[in-house]
Structure 1
C-alpha cells in the first residue's frame, strides 16, 4: 500500500509528464476576444494575457481539421504538427522574423488553442499591397531580405513552412519589420521528396502541378519568386496551372533588370535550376540594394510607405 508521500510524488510525476497545460486552464490565464479572421486551418481571435495585459492572438484549431499529428516530448497524446514546429523554433530561441508561440492548450469541446504573439500596428502583406499597389523596389527588398533570412533560420532548425505567400506575412507598419505566420501547412524539413501539399496552389511549383512531388528548398524558392513578383508588380504572376507550368512571368510594371533576374531564377521550371536560399541572399539585387528607378511607371516611395495612423 502506498503511503501519503508516495502518492504525492506519483501525482507530481504525472503532472510533470502531462505538462503545464494540466495545471492552469486556458480561461484562468487568457481572455479571448473578437474574431480576427479564419481560414482552412482554424480561426484566429484577439486575446489578452490576464497576468500582465499582453495583447495576443489566439488560434483555434478543430481536431477534425488537423492534417498532420505529431508528438511532443512529455506529452501523452499527439498534437497538431503546427504546435510541434512552433515549439521547436521557440526552444532554439526564436527569430524576429517568425511569429512566436507563447503557449498552447487542448481544451475539451474547443479543440487546440495556440497563444501567439500579436505585434502592434500589424497588417498582412496581402492587405498592405492591396491598399498601396506595387511596392517600390527598396521597400520590397527590405521585406524580402527579412523573409529569406527567417526562412533560412527555420530550415537550419528543421522546419519547412510550405505556404509562403503575402497573406502569411505580417508587416509592422511603423517599423517595416515583417514576420512569417501560420504554420498550418508546415512540416519537418527533410532532404527527400514530399508527396503531400496543403499550401496555396497558385504559389506551388510546376513539379507539384505535374507530378505531385517536390523538395523543400525548391518549393520554398519558387514561392519566394511568386512573392517577390507580387510585391514589385502588385499581383501574382500565375493564376492557372498552365501558366505555372509555363514558368514565364510577364512583368506588368517597370522592374529593374537585377530584380527581374532574381525572380526568373527563383521561377526556373526545373527545380535543380533554382537558387538555394543562400544564393538568393547573395544575388546582386539583394546585396547591393542598387535599384534602377527608370521612367515614371514605379509608384513614388512616399505614396507606398505606411501611414503612422495605421
Structure 2
C-alpha cells in the first residue's frame, strides 16, 4: 500500500516537474486536451487527460493499448502514459499547424494538388491501421492534424477498436455528417467499411468546402445519407470525382479497400509525380521519446 502511494507521488511529481500545462485545446465527454511544454526537451507536446470513470474504462484502455501499438509517419505519436489515481495522461506529439477542418474553413476549400497530397497521406495512415486490424471509426477533418511541414497526422483513437476477422459492431459512434448509412440500421456493421465511407466524406469536404450531406435538421441529413443523395460540383477533376463516388456507396460490401483505392489514378499518378514523404520524426520528439521510457 505504501509502495502504491510512493509510486503515485513519484508519477505526479514527475508530471508536474517535466510538463508545464499551457492552454486547453479541446474537451470531450470524458477527456480534456491541453498544449504543454516539455521542460527536459524544450518542446511542445499535447497532453490528453482521461477521467477513468467505470463506464468509460473500456474506451480508455482500448485507446491506450491501440496508440501504444502504432508507429507511422502519418499518425500522431504517443510518447508517454502516466496513471495518477483515477486520471490517465497521454503525452503525444504536437502538430503545430492545427487540424484539417480549420485549414479547410480558412481557405474555403483546398487546391486539388494539396487535397491529393494530404488525402494520400491519410490513406497511408488508415491503410496501416487496417493492415494491423484496427478500425478508427471516427475519421474526420477535426481528427486530422497538420505538422510544421504541412503533413497530415491521423489522431484521436478514442473510438477505435481492434478487429478480429469477420467481427461486426453494433454501437453507434462517430460524427453525424460523416456517418455511413449502415450506422442507422439495426444490423451489425464492419468498422473498416465505415472508415472508407468517412474517407469519402472527407475527400468531398476537402475539394468542395462543405459536406456532401447537409440539411437544416438531423433527420434531413440522415435521409440524405441513407439515399447517398449528394452532388459533386463540375469543377472537381474526374479522377477525384471517381474516388468520391466509389467511396460513398450505400452497400458497405461494395466499397473498395484501401489497397484498391491506392491503385486509382488519383493516387497512383499523384504518387508518381511526388517525392516520398519523410518518415523521420523531428529531433525534439525523438529526444522526448527517449527521455520518457
- The answer, yes or no, to whether TM exceeds 0.5 is yes
Aligned residue for 2:98, secondary structure, equals strand
Deviations 1:112-137 (A, max 9, x none): 111111133x1211100000011121
Q: CA deviation at 1:47?
A: 0.7
| 1:144 and 2:148 correspond | no
Correspondence for 2:27 among 17, 38, 41: 38
Q: 1:203 to 1:152 in 2, by over 3 A?
A: same
**2-side partners of 1:86 and 1:35: how far apart?**
21
Give the whole-Å Cα distance in 2 for the aligned partners of 1:138 and 1:69.
40
Q: How does 1:114-153 map to 2 (within 5 A)?
A: 114-120=90-96, 122-153=97-128
Q: Which of 90, 107, 111 is equivalent to 2:84?
A: 107
1:167 aligned onto 2:167: no
**Larger helix proportion, structure 1 or 2?**
2
**For 1:69, what is the secondary structure of its paired residue?**
helix
Contact 1:233/1:253 (CA < 8 Å) preserved in 2?
no
Q: What SS does the aligned partner of 1:46 have? A: strand
How many residues are paired up?
Answer: 260
State the alpha-carbon separation in 1 of the partners of residues 234 and 205 from structure 2. Answer: 11
Per the alignment, residue 29 of structure 1 pairs with: 18
* Structure 1: gaps spanning 5 or more residues: 1-10, 71-78, 291-310
Gaps of 5+ in 2: 215-220, 272-293
Tell me if the contact between 2:104 and 2:206 (Cα under 8 Å) persists in the aligned partners: yes
Q: Residue 104 of structure 1 contacts residue 112 of structure 1 at CA under 8 Å; is this kept in 2?
A: yes
Larger radius of gyration: 1
Which of 190, 196, 220 is the equivalent residue of 1:221? Answer: 196
SS at structure 1 position matched to 2:119: helix
Aligned-residue offset at 1:248: 3.0
Q: 1:65 to 1:181 in 2, by over 3 A?
A: farther
- Displacement of 1:212 in angstroms is 5.3
Q: How does 1:221-240 map to 2 (within 5 A)?
A: 221-239=196-214, 240=221
Q: Distance in 2 between matches of 1:281 and 1:123?
A: 26
Deviation of 1:22 (Å): 5.4
TM (norm. structure 1) is 0.77
* Corresponding position: 1:178 with 2:190: no
1:51 maps to what in 2?
40
CA distance in 2 between partners of 1:86 and 1:180 (Å): 11
